[in-house]
Amino acid sequence: MMKRFMPAILALSFALPASALAAGDQAHPESRNWSWNGIFGTYDRAQLQRGLEIFTGQCINCHGLKFIHFRDLIQIGLSEDQAEALAEQFEVAGDPDEWGDPTTRPAKLFDRFPDPYRNEEEARALNNGAVPPDLSLMAKARPDGSNYIASLLSDAEYNEGNPTDDGLYHNAYFPGGLIAMAPPLYEGLGVNADGSDASIDEMSDDIAAFLTWTAEPRLEDRKGMGLKVILFLLVLTGLLYVSKRKIWANV
């Protein structure tokens, strides 16, 4: 019996130290104070909108957001007109013309954010061999995603922007410590709620919050449902207790 498992056990004993090492050269994300933490936490709409501004002002040049439709932005507080105006700034594929040639048209509310590149080859060619991943689900795809994105973007050494000879940038939070993305945030890109210029740290929080919403737009519904279930159970417990007392009162 043991013999049958030997290869698996051997493989495990080699694999474990290697993965422990790989994890060792990546810093743990710093915990930020998110508005949606805790059972009553909700998204801060103004923060999500600031994150959207940063996304459309910068990240969109290289990253897709393919699971988000322009009309979804109404959920974070944009009016229909604002969402429509934003959509119109993007070109998407239209119907073929009378000759069968491809056409483009301005995006509409029902369209998704278009990909910045025509294909993976183009993405790779323009980014030093690395492909910028779609960001819609990034906050869910990485452990501790919201904190990870915020930490990755605000890393101090990274933001000094000194590339290696291979064109990579030191980032303590990225697996392996070297990332192909040049620091994307700079002072003057985003503003705070009071209109003052946002620091790299503040922008990192805002864009990480926005990307948390894109990955989990139903977070508030889910929490609301959890609360309702708990309330229901409390009421049910009370009722059951009262009826038990009643039923057994004269026994």
Residues in contact with ligand HEC, shown as a per-residue x/- string from 164 to 183 under the rule CB under 6 A: ---------------xxx--
Q: Which of 68, 132, 146, 198 binds ligand HEC (CB under 6 A)?
A: 132
Q: Is residue 50 within the footprint of ligand HEC (CB under 6 A)?
A: no
Q: Is residue 133 within the footprint of ligand HEC (CB under 6 A)?
A: yes
CB of 208 to ligand HEC, least distance (A): 8
CB of 124 to ligand HEC, least distance (A): 9
CB of 111 to ligand HEC, least distance (A): 21
CB of 61 to ligand HEC, least distance (A): 4
Q: Is residue 63 within the footprint of ligand HEC (CB under 6 A)?
A: yes
- Cβ–Cβ < 8 Å for 216, 139: yes
Pairing between β-strand 169-170 and β-strand 178-179 as defined by DSSP bridges = antiparallel
Binding piece for ligand HEC, criterion CB under 6 A, among 27-35, 39-47, 82-90, 129-137: 129-137
Residue 198, token pair as written in the block? 């946002």
Instruction: Outline where DSSP puts E strands in 126-213.
Output: 169-170, 178-179
Distance of CA 138 to the CA centre of its chain: 4
Q: Is residue 74 within the footprint of ligand HEC (CB under 6 A)?
A: no
Contacts within 8 Å (CB) and 24+ apart, 216-225: 216/139, 216/140, 217/72, 217/75, 219/36, 219/43, 220/36, 220/42, 220/43, 223/39, 223/40, 223/41, 223/42
- Cβ–Cβ < 8 Å for 247, 87: no
Degrees (nearest 5) of the Cα angle 92, 94, 98?
A: 155
CB of 117 to ligand HEC, least distance (A): 10
Q: Which of 32, 66, 108, 142 binds ligand HEC (CB under 6 A)?
A: 142
Q: How many residues bind ligand HEC (CB under 6 A)?
A: 22
Q: Is residue 191 within the footprint of ligand HEC (CB under 6 A)?
A: no
- Cβ–Cβ < 8 Å for 87, 107: yes
CB of 78 or CB of 209, closer to ligand HEC = 209
